[in-house]
Chain A
Amino acid sequence: MSELLLEVGGLHAGYGPVEVLHGIDLTVATGEVVVVLGANGAGKTTMMRAVSGTIARRGSVRLAGDDIGRTSPDAIVRAGLAQVPQGRGTFVDLSVDDNLRAGAYTRKDDYVGADIARWFEVFPRLAQRRTQKAGSLSGGEQQMLAVARALMSRPTLLLCDEPSLGLAPLIVQELFGILGRLNSEEGLSVLLVEQNANLAMDIADRAYLLETGTIVASGDAETIRNDDAIRKAYLGY
């Protein structure tokens, strides 16, 4: 019986006068990989931003029992939440190495260098390019960099917003494989948002379906996969 790491209740958020999320409830238990499926415009990115506090919202968001409503960005990261934004969001002018160091910005311990070495082992392509500017990396490499950067803060919960966007399926497989291993071997909890989530469902424990700002379905991965309507609309077969 795992604790709930992330509890989102009655989340409303939007941009200006337009409300995009109309009361979302979801949870992520410790050690789970949870996938949120949804088409374009369903509100997936808005949800991620609302959860991580990047945009204003109503409703409750609790991380390990603590309300992270009004916390500053550094406190949220220190509380164990790291985000891989849509479109990578790497620091394109900084080297790969500096990007990783930036990921460890809130850490005060001495193991930052060791962690960097470790992620270079997990993502060998990044090691090859460690002194290059992040902007010169390919899309797939930048995505890995964004993930590694987020992992540098040693989070307990990783939020990933459409990491497969624009990437070749092989790379996506590699990436999800790594996430899956981190989840099973180290208990990293992941909240993953995807449009075409075929590969994501391979590592998922549970899934939610988001449509125009509301959760319309939820359940464990198997059930969702076997649902015909969902399969056709979101999993492509």
Chain B
Amino acid sequence: MERFLQYFFDGLSQGSIYALLALGLVIIYRGSGYLNFAQGEMAMISAFMAWWFADMGLSPWLAVGVAVVVAFVVAMGVERFIIRPIGHRSPFAVVVASIGLFLGLNALAPFAWKVTIPEAFESLFPNEPTDFVSVGGAEWREQNIGVLVVLAVTAGVLYLVFQRTRFGLAMRAVASNPESSPLVGIRTGQVLAVSWGMAAAVGALGGAMVASLRGNVDASMMLTIFFAATAAATLGGYDSLLGAVFGGIVLGVFENMVAGYQPDVVGQELKGVVSLLVILVVLLVKPSGLFGSQRVERV
């Protein structure tokens, strides 16, 4: 039982990170219909920025906060000046452009900060060996609880924004029918830009969580997480925010359980196989995912 709980708690925090990235993917998909290939790398760069700010003297949480804001603003610019104009030419070109962003951002971190080895990142949560809560014999580490709390708060804030604010209504309207939105006076361009900003901000939080858990920042740290996030969004349904959270958590826990109980079959490297299988099964059984709408499906 202890073992089960241990894998469960560890999986929850991993899943929370998947959920944060998946939320970003879903926000952009709902708004503009694109898969943001660069989501993971945007998160990675944001984590590097947080590390950089902390290095300059800011307290860790403040550094993360500033990085989140910067990510928001920069992503809005990316949507406005790169994605949108290219999108007018051809949606296909946007996919390629986002792949270009992926490559560029991935290469940018070591280039800009001259780092080739991981740089230490101070943990955002209490991380002494004794910082855990005992549940049923398993150790639920405080930093894992912390990540889960961050996810919960983020999801809560997003919910409030989408469901209770005027702008959130505009975002939902654009997601539902971008042609009709201007008719009621919604500026679709603005909404899309903010969507990208929000997605980047949420991703930045995810990146910060990853850095905190790992204890360092490294240019390749978000690659596998990005793939898992795509599987999580598929599982949850690409146009459902609830699905992103649910899918992330479920995938994280499931992956960790499989890796834990069958370390020989599925080691760390093969976690990706779990993601692929999840995607394939979902596509065969219910392509719109657990919470997605039918329209996500067929061409």
Asked if chains A and B are in direct contact (CB within 8 A), the reply is: yes
Binding site for B on A (CB under 8 A): 52, 54, 72-74, 76-78, 82-83, 85, 89-94, 98, 101-103, 105-106, 149-150, 152-153
A94→B173 contact, CB < 8 A: yes
A89 touches B169 (CB 8 A): no
Q: Nearest 6 A-B pairs (CB), nearest first?
A: A77-B185, A73-B182, A89-B180, A74-B185, A106-B185, A93-B176
User: When the two chains form their complex, are residues B184 and A93 in contact, meaning their CB atoms are under 8 A apart?
Assistant: no
Candidates A54, A94, A152; contact of B176 at CB < 8 Å: A94
- Cα A98 to Cα B181 in complex, Å, equals 13
Q: How far does the alpha carbon of A73 sit from the alpha carbon of B170 in the complex, in Å?
A: 13
Contact A102–B187 (Cβ < 8 Å):
no
List the A residue with the shortest CB-CB distance to B179: A89
CB nearest neighbor in B for A101: B169
Query: Is there contact, CB below 8 Å, between A105 and B170?
Result: yes
B184 contacts A103, C-beta separation under 8 Å: yes
Contact indicator A52/B293 (Cβ below 8 Å): no
- Nearest A residue to B180 via CB reads A89
Q: Check A73–B176 contact: CB distance below 8 A.
A: no
List CB contacts (< 8 Å) of B143-183 with chain A. Answer: 166, 169-170, 172-173, 175-177, 179-183
A92 and B176 alpha carbons, distance in the complex (Å): 6
Are B185 and A76 interface neighbours, CB within 8 A?
yes
Whether the Cβ atoms of A89 and B177 lie closer than 8 Å is yes
Task: Report Cα–Cα, A90/B186, bound state, in Å.
Answer: 14
Say whether chain B's binding surface is mostly helix, strand, loop, or mixed.
helix
Q: How far is the CA of A73 from the CA of B174 in the complex (A)?
A: 14
Contacts A91-B176, A94-B172, A102-B173 given; does A85 touch B183 at CB 8 Å? yes
B30-65 residues at the A interface, CB under 8 angstroms: none
* B285, chain A: closest CB distance, angstroms: 23
CA distance A225 to B293 in the complex (A): 47
Given contacts A94-B176, A105-B169, contact A83 B187 (CB under 8 A): no
Instruction: Answer whether A98 and B185 are a contact pair too, CB < 8 Å, given A90-B177, A91-B180.
Output: no
B170–A102 CB distance below 8 A: yes
- Chain A residues, Cβ within 8 Å of B177: 89-92
Q: Which residues, 104 to 125 on B, are CB-close (under 8 Å) to A?
A: none
Q: Which residue from B166, B169, B172, B183 sits with its C-beta under 8 Å from A73?
A: B183
CA distance A98 to B180 in the complex (A): 14
**Does B185 contact A153, Cβ atoms closer than 8 Å?**
yes
**Chain A to chain B contacts (Cβ below 8 Å), 22 pairs:** A52-B183, A72-B187, A73-B185, A76-B185, A83-B183, A89-B177, A89-B183, A90-B177, A91-B172, A92-B177, A93-B175, A93-B176, A93-B293, A94-B172, A94-B173, A94-B176, A105-B170, A105-B184, A150-B183, A150-B184, A153-B184, A153-B185
Determine the distance from Cα of A98 to Cα of B172 in the docked complex, in whole angstroms. 10
User: In whole angstroms, what is the CA distance A101 to B184 when docked?
Assistant: 10
Residues of the B chain whose Cβ atoms lie less than 8 Å from the Cβ of A98: 169, 172-173
Nearest residue (CB) in A for B188 is: A73
CB distance from B184 to the nearest CB of A (A): 5
Residues of A within 8 A of B293 (CB): 93
Q: Which of A83, A94, A105, A149 contacts B166 (CB 8 A)?
A: A105
